[in-house]
Amino acid sequence: MRDKEIHDVLSILREEYKKWKLPAVTRVARRKDPFRVLVSTLISLRTKDEVTDDASKKLFRIADTPESMVKIPARDIEKAIYPAGFYRTKAKNIKRICSIILDKYHGKVPDTIDELLTLPGVGRKTANLVVTLGYGKPGICVDTHVHRVSNRLGYVSTKTPDKTEFALRDKLPPEYWIEYNDLLVTYGKYICTPVSPFCSKCQLYRLCSRVGVTRTR
């Protein structure tokens, strides 16, 4: 794919995006609450979207601020977010993060990637989502879907999600940074799937280099 074609790709994805259910963390982000975005993203790691959605709702019914969350036992957080993957570790991290936010940041979730990365269990994906969806600041969140689709298109040639993020920071026009994750995650879930993508109904087919694709539907 030629670099200049990214404008066409994003235009098409914006239309396709309307057809499918929004990612769970994106729905949470509509409240414009960085704390909810942070906690929901932590829950979402290695967890199906529908489980993340349900777990986040259950947890926020019993605590939805660092002040209220730190007061409840870790076992209650575990019960609320089960069966999210690694729910015990996530519950422990959520408690520790709330304590740090209260002690070090006066109850406010940090708004920079570097500060967020110091929190337990927070990686670049989570940090970027908090910055972009929670605060509306520039960032590029890259998960496995974004990494896969960006490379299949031929827009980048990278081996890991972190390397994809930095490659995109170098070449993706800034006006697309915040929405890039949502658009590619959704397309990656429904069309550009990990195994045997639906190339026969892909609206990006004429623009895509199909790097690494050996079997399609």
Residue 42 counted as domain residue: yes
Token match 């601020």: residue? Answer: 65
Structural domain span for residue 48: 31-135
120-175 residue pLDDT tens: 999 999 999 999 999 999 999 999 999 999 999 999 999 999 999 999 999 999 99
Reported as type and span, the H/E element at residue 42 is helix 34-44
Say whether both 68 and 116 belong to one domain: yes
Residue 197 counted as domain residue: yes
CATH number of 168's domain: 1.10.1670.10
Reported as type and span, the H/E element at residue 161 is helix 161-171
Instruction: Quote the pLDDT of residue 43.
Output: 97
Inter-residue contact 158 to 74 (CB < 8 Å):
no
The amino acid present at 151, given as its one-letter code, is N
Residue 217 counted as domain residue: no
Residue 170 counted as domain residue: yes
Say whether both 129 and 145 belong to one domain: no
Cα–Cα distance for residue pair 211/14, rounded to 1 Å = 22
Number of folded domains that form the chain: 2
Closest by alpha carbon to 146, among 185, 175, 107? 185
Tokens of 213: 């694709």
Distance of CA 170 to the CA centre of its chain: 20
Cα–Cα distance for residue pair 119/211, rounded to 1 Å = 36
Tell me which residues of the chain have a pLDDT lower than 50.
Answer: none
Residue 118 counted as domain residue: yes
CATH number of 45's domain: 1.10.340.30
Quote the pTM value: 0.90
